[in-house]
Structure 1
Amino acid sequence: MDNLPVGPMHRRVVIAVGLGLFFEVYEIFLSSTISTALKTQYGLGGTTLQLLMASSFVGMFFGAAIFGRMADRIGRRRAFLVNLVWFSVWSLVGALAPNPAILVAARFMAGVGIGAEYPVADSYLSDVLPKAHRGRLAAWAYTCSFLAVPALGFASLGLTGRSVFGVEGWRLLLVIGAAGALLVMQMRRALPESPRWLARVGRLEEAQAALRRFEGADIHEVADIGVRPVSAPAKPTNPFARLSQRPYRGRLAMLAVFHLFQPFGYYGFGTLAGLVLVSRGYDVTSSLLFTALSFLGYPIGSALSIPLLKLFERKYLVVASVAAMALCGIVFAVVSYPALIVLFGFLTTAASNVFSNFYHVYQAEIFPSDVRATAVGWTYSVSRLSSAVLPFVLIPVLDMYGATVMFGVVLVALTLVIAVVLPLGPKTTGRSLDEINPV
């Protein structure tokens, strides 16, 4: 798999995974839109508003941890299909919710399904993409996903505060997410299972068949480029024992701390930008317009990461992008001219997605394939729990002390991210998965 040339199947994987991630990102940033709409239209506030913003992230915490392990047990492809169906059903329930309590519960359950999307996607992409192109192709999938942010921003601008055939706009946004997830599920049914995973569980004939689909040639031609047989383990891997070995226990701890604090920068801006602007006196229409324009930085920043992933060491790229995100976020908090608000909002979101692409590629590379989805799911779930806590930490700070102090809290959190990655993160760029994970 490491040495295969990039072929049609690799491109199909990138598109299908990218579109699935599109709806993960859509779901995450929908929290801000729904919360802003319900606060301004219906006066929803206090604990109810915080619970609404936190509910899907709490669900994602459980989904990332449970489905990540499930993907190592039942396979990446099957986990992909299960989580999309789950998400779609509960998004429809949320769209029909008659009161805030049902909406909070439905958002939690939808989060369980969509929370698995990134851990499974990161693991699958790391499994099947050739080492020389792994970062670049994975970044294309992530770039596809982040088109969801400006798409949602402008859809929210058009639908929030309005009704279509008597249906409130925020409900239609939930329906769009549910329908799109079902379409992606149909695309993913045609993808092959990860050959690495199949070989690890002893299904060697299926692994060879899947490998042929990626290579697009006769299996003997595959053998000529250095594919070596993999012996299946005698029994299923015990993830606790495997991840307690060196160097994985250190990497696991590093990523857990990383994911505890990185959401303060990434989601702290993305989910609270509208409320920040409302708190500074802008009406909801102006706030949604400013954030929609700022959100154009998400796909553009993601695209900018593609050449960088091939040129520079990923560990250092993660650190540099965190610093850029912190700096731009602080400036966004203090400028007052509309043009500067949009500019630094754009730069913050661009830096955020350069950062996001770097760490999603990076975190899947630093664990072996038999526990890759488990490790990524466990550590990534910490970010979802942290994101769920964010409204209870940042909204009170915003209300009591203003945007500048709130972004000061974000700055401290991002400094801690740099403090763990710089000394503890291994180097991965240009190395095969076996070199990175020798044990």
Structure 2
Amino acid sequence: MAAASDASDIALRLDRLPLTRLHLGLVLVCTCAMAAAISEMSLSGALSAIFSTGASKASSGQLSALLSSVYVGAVIGAPLFGWLADRVGRLNMLVATLSWVCLTSLAASFAHDILQLTICRGLAGLALGAMPPLVISLLADMLAPRHRGAATFWCIALSTVGPFCTLMFLRGMATSAWFGGESWRLTFVVLALLCLLAAGAAALLPESPRSLAARGRMADAARSLARFERSPVLPWQGDATAAPVVAGARPTQPRHLIYTLFALSPWATASFTILWGAVLTQRGFALNDALMVVGISMVGPMLGNIVGSMSLDRIDRRHGLAGCSVVMLLSGAVFVSSDITWQVVVAATVFGTVTSIYLSLMNLYAAELFPTEARSRLLASAWALNRVGAAVAPLLLVPLLRNHGPQQMFAVIAGTIVAAIVVTCLSPAGRQRQAVA
């Protein structure tokens, strides 16, 4: 009873803290980690274009394996690293995953053929699959309810600058006489350096007091909390005790609904987007133009999450998810059917925007429902199901695209979006701006 009381006291004190410089450092480190993870994933879209044309053109089987490999790795790595995070510390595992991606990215830059590149991508996926749930779990643990949603949206919004810069850098190097078609190698080296810097910065931060308390390490939790309490308050913050903490009974966990939502979402949010390059080159777009469209579309997620930070935290998570799904249906249909370049660019940007918002909402929704002592494990397990869908989908969608065209391929994706809307309507209310259990 005394341990439970101490854990509740630590959680209450943590939830009443204003934003401090240490919180800001945490959000920035999480932003860098997410930027690295999303950039690595977004490279699949560029690789699908690079290996769909010219001298580097791969067979359908080779391309499907390359695109699926990172998600196959994520299926294995997400639950494993999530389980470890609940036992050895979420911040420790974030450092470990960043270090692992650094090594695998360097290995990918030296790959001699598409088989070796596929293996490197699969190994990178082990850590990449765990990184988003680790970041969301950390933010849910350490941020007060009144700041949690907005700060998470800002973290993801700023992290989407990474994929945009990555793809623009890749395109710029692809047009140079020095690198040309091998520009993806240098891109992997740059991402490895980003992961190394983020891992070093994460190692300087304190572990989650809430997570430590849930594991019975009260002395360590108190020391970690003391660092947050001593940290200078950011200038725009008011009194730490001024804003009440909205509490409530521990919510029920309809895991089957949440897991189903995670399993359905990657067909649209991951697999469709990484095939954009292949869709555009098949429809007659030049490789550089296809890379430009994919790169420009990366601006949308940043703007969308900034808007989300100011508005979507005030409505039920389910309503936001359903609204994003409808917009994905409409913009995706325009992308695969329009022959007008500006419409394709706008549709890709809108789709990318709502996809990023959807993923932010879905992860926040699940993290706020799952209990602290198992948050990383359960969220990572849900994310693993997401990666299963992302791994399986290209194996079916690439042959469908090449044999029947983009419209028929998107019809399958649209069916998964409709199914996700139904599941969303059946799911329980979210816990935005409430204390996590």
Does TM, normalized by the shorter one, top 0.5?
yes
In structure 2, do the counterparts of structure 1 residues 316 and 224 end up closer, same or farther at CA, with 3 Å as the change threshold? closer
| 1:303 lines up with 2:306 in the alignment | yes
Which residue does 1:272 correspond to in 2?
275
| 1:362 lines up with 2:378 in the alignment | no
| 1:198 lines up with 2:201 in the alignment | no
Residues of 2 paired with 1:131 and 1:414: CA distance? 30
The superposition leaves residues 48-86 of structure 1 with CA deviations (integer Å, 9 ceiling, x where unpaired) of: 111011111111111111101110010111101111111
Residues of 2 paired with 1:113 and 1:217: CA distance? 31
Which residue does 2:395 correspond to in 1?
392
Listed as ranges, the matches of 1:182-197 within 5 Å are 182-197=196-211
| 1:20 lines up with 2:33 in the alignment | yes
Contact 1:4 1:225 survives alignment (8 Å): no
The superposition leaves residues 313-371 of structure 1 with CA deviations (integer Å, 9 ceiling, x where unpaired) of: 11211111121112111111111111111111111111111212211221111111000
Which residue does 2:189 correspond to in 1?
175
Residues of 1 paired with 2:294 and 2:243: CA distance? 49
Using the size of structure 1 for normalisation, the TM-score is: 0.89
Listed as ranges, the matches of 1:99-178 within 5 Å are 99-160=113-174, 162=176, 164=178, 168-178=182-192
The superposition leaves residues 25-62 of structure 1 with CA deviations (integer Å, 9 ceiling, x where unpaired) of: 01111112123212323221221111011111111111
Residues of 2 paired with 1:320 and 1:343: CA distance? 18
The alpha-carbon deviation at position 113 of structure 1 amounts to 1.7
The alpha-carbon deviation at position 121 of structure 1 amounts to 0.8
Partner SS state of residue 39, structure 1? coil
* Letter of the 2:43 counterpart: L
Residues of 2 paired with 1:349 and 1:110: CA distance? 23
| 1:93 lines up with 2:98 in the alignment | no
The superposition leaves residues 381-400 of structure 1 with CA deviations (integer Å, 9 ceiling, x where unpaired) of: 11111111121111122112
The alpha-carbon deviation at position 136 of structure 1 amounts to 0.3
Which residue does 1:242 correspond to in 2?
none
Partner SS state of residue 370, structure 2? coil
Percent identity between matched residues is 27
Give unpaired runs (5+ residues) of structure 1.
228-244, 435-439
| 1:419 lines up with 2:432 in the alignment | no
Which residue does 1:216 correspond to in 2?
230
Runs of 4 or more, structure 1, over 3 Å off, are 161-167, 221-227
In structure 2, do the counterparts of structure 1 residues 396 and 165 end up closer, same or farther at CA, with 3 Å as the change threshold? closer
The alpha-carbon deviation at position 246 of structure 1 amounts to 8.4
Residues of 2 paired with 1:50 and 1:161: CA distance? 26
The alpha-carbon deviation at position 149 of structure 1 amounts to 2.2
Which residue does 1:374 correspond to in 2?
377
Residues of 1 paired with 2:285 and 2:89: CA distance? 48
The alpha-carbon deviation at position 163 of structure 1 amounts to 5.9
Residues of 1 paired with 2:120 and 2:271: CA distance? 22
The alpha-carbon deviation at position 89 of structure 1 amounts to 0.7
In structure 2, do the counterparts of structure 1 residues 34 and 167 end up closer, same or farther at CA, with 3 Å as the change threshold? closer
Contact 1:59 1:109 survives alignment (8 Å): yes
Residues of 1 paired with 2:319 and 2:230: CA distance? 35
Give unpaired runs (5+ residues) of structure 2.
1-13, 233-238
Picking from 257, 260, 263, the partner of 1:260 is 263
More displaced 10-residue stretch of structure 1: 67-76 or 91-100 = 91-100
The superposition leaves residues 287-327 of structure 1 with CA deviations (integer Å, 9 ceiling, x where unpaired) of: 11122222211211222211123321112111111211121
In structure 2, do the counterparts of structure 1 residues 51 and 214 end up closer, same or farther at CA, with 3 Å as the change threshold? same
Which residue does 2:9 correspond to in 1?
none
| 1:290 lines up with 2:303 in the alignment | no
Contact 2:251 2:369 survives alignment (8 Å): no
| 1:7 lines up with 2:20 in the alignment | yes
Higher relative contact order (CA 8 A, sep 6+): 2
Residues of 2 paired with 1:300 and 1:11: CA distance? 20
RMSD: 2.2
